Chain A
């Protein structure tokens, strides 16, 4: 496996000058993902922050072929692209070479409105890698809650009011849903662990059939933290085990090093309190009074899921 230094020499196919916010982790994610490209590659992009901010006509940040059609259908679009390449290759109309296909969607475009399209494409077995960059709400339209939004988060459609303390539901277990499709490769990642992320992208592209990576991509505007902290917030997500890092290859779970370190030394597991305090979207859990009841509920849910994932990974 190449070192991070070696990876840093790889060409980035997502250029600067895009209009993503300062401190947007989705941008860091996009740069890291494209560093893994080593074959002819095309990108399909769902409507969302990454799409609108990277391709305002007449400009584009993409140095590989890139296609946007709509919000909820990127997996179907990628299915069509793959099918056309297969047919044209068979008929000798294009070069006989493999073309990697990457699809990007946010949490709204993946957990919610794009779930059917994703499920269909996974079931049909198209050879593509879907990357969900999850910033925890519909950030592009102004921070509305999605089914990927964490418990108790304050969003514009799950506001923390005097009676209702933010979102009442826990995050949809999307990775479990994807794993249930029995596709060859599923993984989780964060931009704070670039080597891990880049390796997973390459691995996901190299398997035959569908691959899926869930990336926790923090959002300075919606999650409310200083733009200088975006990478640290995703590191904290791993350290508090709200985003454990693992991969599922042909149904076999393996925990990755950053999470494995915590599994083998539980004293390294940070309380969710640290993650919550770092973000303005959870401020109502501390002011005007500390809501230990909700923080405890949150912690219990994380602990339960952490034990589950450890058991699945055999650690």
Chain B
């Protein structure tokens, strides 16, 4: 099929249309609004037979999603920033209720001060909630990962909600070419005609969401822990299945120019694009630098990550997110704890960049590289640094 020119939000809406969920419960928030607007169009024009529940808040959106999923429905929603924080309580219950809700996120800075532009802190804030958490770099990835999210989450070995993040405005509102797939392909990929997996079944009454006290609470939480672990193989298998159908390769941890690399950028989301261009330029000048792009953030693919960093002298972790008062970045802490187990711990430099949608140009990625290498050559790790902030 020939490519379509769509924004990131539109790509996600188109993907959700092909999946044809039973229920979409959502509330508008910039920069996610196009997703729910486009999906509303599909409902209004009869292109899907989804029940669109236009709720009065994000808290109710996630609550309705859990109700719908528990009743046996396939469920999709979308949010960002303050919306995710309003549903924060319910996000935890979505995973513990084992409801495979798919939530597309147009990642946005969090208040205050209020800002509507791209930043991944919103999605990282619920890293500990039991959700499978992924980031996309391009609109094509957003499209593909949205479809794959349903298969991953709904797998009987997993049954966990899945978040797919795209950088607000940078992807959500930017038009790129996306190679579409057909409804038939998606239907086959997701296992053909869906049967009801009714849990709230009047013919077979069960109680869901019971009070677990000291005697059972830890076991209930451990089930979510185990499902996260099991999801790793399902994610890898699902990515492979998608590659067979579309030719597009996906890995939980992606690499670029890592074969002979001595230094590596680590990042997530759209920033990987500029990182690649900077790497091409640096390599033209003889620098042996590569890129590790974390596509799946939770569960954390530590082994896959370590395999790539075996021979690396220095890591430059660059994230569009922040954590006040912490020893480093949010992604950075995962990277550091992974490297702690390696035989030769590489040098590490950590950067926070681009908060509130601030640009980070290719030449800045080069500057970040040069600054880091200078430190590494002096035999030091670099302290956590906010790139581009006027102090």
Residues of A at under 8 Å CB distance from B?
40-42, 44, 51-52, 55-58, 60, 62-70, 72-73, 75-88, 90-91, 93-94, 99, 116-117, 119-121, 123-124
Supply 12 A–B pairs (Cβ within 8 Å), ascending by A.
Answer: A62-B207, A64-B202, A65-B204, A68-B210, A73-B63, A83-B22, A84-B67, A87-B22, A91-B49, A117-B56, A117-B60, A124-B53
A91 touches B210 (CB 8 A): no
Q: B287 interface residue, CB < 8 Å from A?
A: no
The reply to whether B210 and A57 contact each other, CB–CB distance below 8 Å, is yes
Q: Please tell me if the beta carbons of B68 and A68 are within 8 angstroms of each other in the complex.
A: no
Check if B71 sits within 8 Å of A81, measured CB to CB. Answer: yes
Are A88 and B56 neighbours in the complex by a CB distance under 8 Å? no
How far is A280 from B70 in the complex, measured between Cα atoms in Å?
42
Per-residue contact bits, chain B 82-111, to A (CB 8 Å; 1 contact, 0 not):
000000011001000100000000000000
Known contacts A44-B67, A55-B210; A117/B54 CB under 8 A: no
Shortest Cβ distance from B198 into A: residue: A94
Is B196 in contact with chain A by the CB < 8 A criterion?
A: yes
- With a cutoff of 8 Å between Cβ atoms, the chain B residues found around residue A78 in the complex are 67
B25 at the interface (CB under 8 A from A): yes
Find the B residue at minimum CB distance from A67: B208
- The answer to whether B25 and A68 touch across the interface, beta carbons within 8 angstroms, is no
B161 → A minimal CB distance (Å): 13
Q: How far is the CB of B83 from chain A (nearest CB, A)?
A: 14
Set of chain A residues within 8 Å of B296, measured between Cβ atoms: none
A100 to B, closest residue via Cβ = B202
Q: Is the CB of B64 within 8 A of A79?
A: yes
CA distance A81 to B209 in the complex (A): 14
Residue-wise interface mask of B (145-183) relative to A, using a CB-CB cutoff of 8 A (1 in contact, 0 not): 000000000000000000000000000000000000000
Do A79 and B55 touch across chains, with their CB atoms under 8 A apart?
Answer: yes
Which residues in A have their C-beta under 8 angstroms from that of B196? 88, 93-94
For residue A58, which residues in chain B have a CB less than 8 angstroms away from its CB?
210, 216
CA distance A41 to B203 in the complex (A): 10
The interface residues of chain A lying within 8 Å CB-to-CB of B22 are 83-84, 87-88, 91
Query: Is A77 a contact partner of B210 (Cβ separation < 8 A)?
Result: no
Closest to A121 in B: B60
Residue of A nearest to B87 (CB): A73
Interchain CB contact under 8 A, B210 and A84: no
Chain A residues with Cβ below 8 Å from B208 are 65-68
B54-76, CB < 8 A from A: 54-57, 59-61, 63-73, 75
B51 touches A73 (CB 8 A): no
Residue of A nearest to B213 (CB): A56
Contact digits for B178-191, partner A, Cβ 8 Å, 1 yes 0 no: 00000000000000
Contact B54 A124 (CB under 8 A): yes
* CB nearest to A126 among chain B residues: B53
Instruction: For B25, list chain A residues within 8 Å (CB).
Output: 76, 79-80, 83
Of A52, A62, A70, A120, the contact of B205 (CB 8 Å cutoff): A62
| Chain B residue contacts of A51, Cβ below 8 A | 211
Contact of A116 with B56 in the complex, beta carbons under 8 Å: yes
A189 to B185, CA, bound (A): 55
Nearest CB of A to B252, in Å: 30
Contact flag A83-B200 (CB < 8 Å), given A64-B205, A116-B56: no
Tally B residues with Cβ within 8 Å of A.
51
The complex places the Cα of A188 from the Cα of B194 at a distance, in Å, of 43
Contact B67 A76 (CB under 8 A): yes
Are B210 and A56 in contact (CB-based, < 8 A)? Answer: yes
Task: Give the Cβ gap from A116 to chain B, nearest Cβ, in Å.
Answer: 6
CB-nearest residue of chain A to B52: A83
Q: Chain A's nearest CB lies how many Å from the CB of B235?
A: 26
For chain B, residues 186 to 230, give those with C-beta under 8 angstroms from any C-beta of chain A: 194-196, 198-213, 216, 220
| Cβ B56 vs Cβ A73 within 8 A | no
Least Cβ–Cβ distance between B261 and chain A, in angstroms: 47
If A73-B90, A99-B202 touch, whether A80 touches B66 (CB-CB below 8 Å) is: yes
| B50 contacts the other chain (CB 8 A) | yes
What residues of A have a CB within 8 angstroms of the CB of B51 in the complex?
83-84, 86-87
Docked pose: A132 CA to B213 CA in angstroms: 26
Cβ contact of A81, chosen from B70, B206, B210, B220, cutoff 8 A: B70
- When distances are taken between beta carbons in the complex, the residues of chain A under 8 Å from B75 are 80, 84
Contacts A57-B210, A68-B208 given; indicate if A79 touches B60 (C-beta within 8 A). yes
Q: Which residues of A contact B23 (CB under 8 A)?
A: 80, 83-84, 87
A66 lies within 8 A of B211 (CB): no
Cα distance A269–B60 in the bound complex, in angstroms: 42
Q: Is the CB of A77 within 8 A of B64?
A: yes
Identify which of A42, A63, A69, A93 contacts B194 (C-beta below 8 A): A93
Contacts of A82 in B (CB 8 A): 67
A-B pairs with the 5 shortest C-beta distances?
A: A80-B67, A84-B73, A40-B202, A120-B56, A80-B64
Name the A residues within 8 Å of B55 (CB-CB): 76, 79, 120, 124
Contact residue among A60, A73, A84, A116 (Cβ-Cβ distance under 8 Å from B71): A84
- Are B70 and A67 neighbours in the complex by a CB distance under 8 Å? yes
Contact B71 A55 (CB under 8 A): no
Q: How far is the CA of A73 from the CA of B67 in the complex (A)?
A: 10
List of A residues within 8 angstroms of B70 by Cβ:
67, 80-81
User: In the complex, which residues of chain B have a beta carbon less than 8 angstroms from the beta carbon of A120?
Assistant: 55-57, 60
B202 with A56: CB separation less than 8 A: no
Name the B residues within 8 Å of A85 (CB-CB).
71
List chain A residues, Cβ under 8 A from B61. 76
Contact of B207 with A116 in the complex, beta carbons under 8 Å = no
A42 near B195 with CB under 8 A, answer no
- Kindly list chain A residues whose C-beta atoms are within 8 Å of the C-beta of B50: 87
Given known pairs A87-B50, A117-B59, the reply for A65 and B72 (CB within 8 Å) is no
Known: A55-B210, A56-B211. A76 touches B60 (CB 8 A): yes
B73 pairs with A87, CB closer than 8 A: yes
Set of chain B residues within 8 Å of A121, measured between Cβ atoms: 60
Q: Which residue of A lies closest to B220 (CB)?
A: A57
Whether A41 touches B202, Cβ cut-off 8 Å, given contacts A73-B90, A88-B196, A90-B49, is yes
